[in-house]
Amino acid sequence: MQVSLHLSQTLSYVLKECALLSTCMPVVSLGQQARGSRKPANCSLRFVLQHVSAEEKALQAKWVELAHDQALKSEAAGGIPIGSVLVHQPTRKVIAAGHNQRMQKNSNILHGEMDCFENAGRTYEGGPIPWRETVCITTLSPCLMCTGAILMYGIPAVIIAEHDNYLSPGEELLASKGVKVTVVNNHKCIQTMSSWIKEHPQLWHEDVAGNVNGARV
């Protein structure tokens, strides 16, 4: 079932209602993000309710949990709690995991997804990384840099734990390029990130949160 809606204030409500449907998973494509805001204004929301098996949902939940573990690992080391996992879809094996390393390595590049891709290395089980058979799981909406890497390597699917704390224009870009974008609204990830942002507003605004106005999208 595919539904087209125009909403502004009721996005979270709609997603929560969708999540209540035990066999359906909302796949969200969002309209233009408000400049300077983490929330969409004049939101053009298109979502597809697709059947997701109980086994698939359990696997997705497990991968999100692994990504969240990475986020906590980063936070424990004094870093930003954003984590990511790369999974080989045919075998369901985890290829790599990583987390934001801005603080730990004084890096402008190693966001959660980028660190995960870096940790994957160049090869997997004797061959090149099978990027086109992978899914990237990330605890937070992927920024434009990470979106670029996802598109460059041809990763066909992204599972986003949450975009309450940061809604990247990358989501719309990914969807427009045919990447399957799934937002699961994981409450643990929302809580971990929102608590950290409250405690470290300056650090948060050093990076993507402070660059929304300057991003060329």
Active site residues per annotation? 113
Residue 99 binds to Zn ion (criterion: CB under 5 A): no
Q: Kindly state the tokens that stand for 117.
A: 């891709």
Min dist CB 86 to Zn ion, Å, is 14
Cβ pair 75, 196 in contact under 8 A: yes
Restricting to residues 104-133, name those near Zn ion by CB under 5 A: 111
Site residue total, Zn ion (CB under 5 A): 4
Q: Where are the alpha helices (DSSP H) in the chain?
A: 11-19, 54-76, 112-120, 144-152, 170-176, 187-199, 201-206, 208-211
Residue 146 in contact with Zn ion, rule: CB under 5 A: yes
Which range, of 20-28, 86-94, 97-105, 137-145, touches Zn ion by CB under 5 A?
137-145
143 near Zn ion, judged by CB under 5 A: yes
Q: Is 130 exposed, middle or buried (0-12, 13-18, 19+ CB in 10 A)?
A: middle
- 197 binding Zn ion? (CB under 5 A): no
Does 157 participate in binding Zn ion (rule CB under 5 A)?
no
**CB closer to Zn ion, 40 vs 112:** 112
**What is the nearest approach in angstroms of Zn ion to the Cβ of residue 111?**
3
Estimate the crossing angle of helix 54-76 against helix 112-120, to 10 degrees.
100
Strand partners, 84: 98, 138
Residues at the contact surface with Zn ion, assessed by CB under 5 A: 111, 143, 145-146
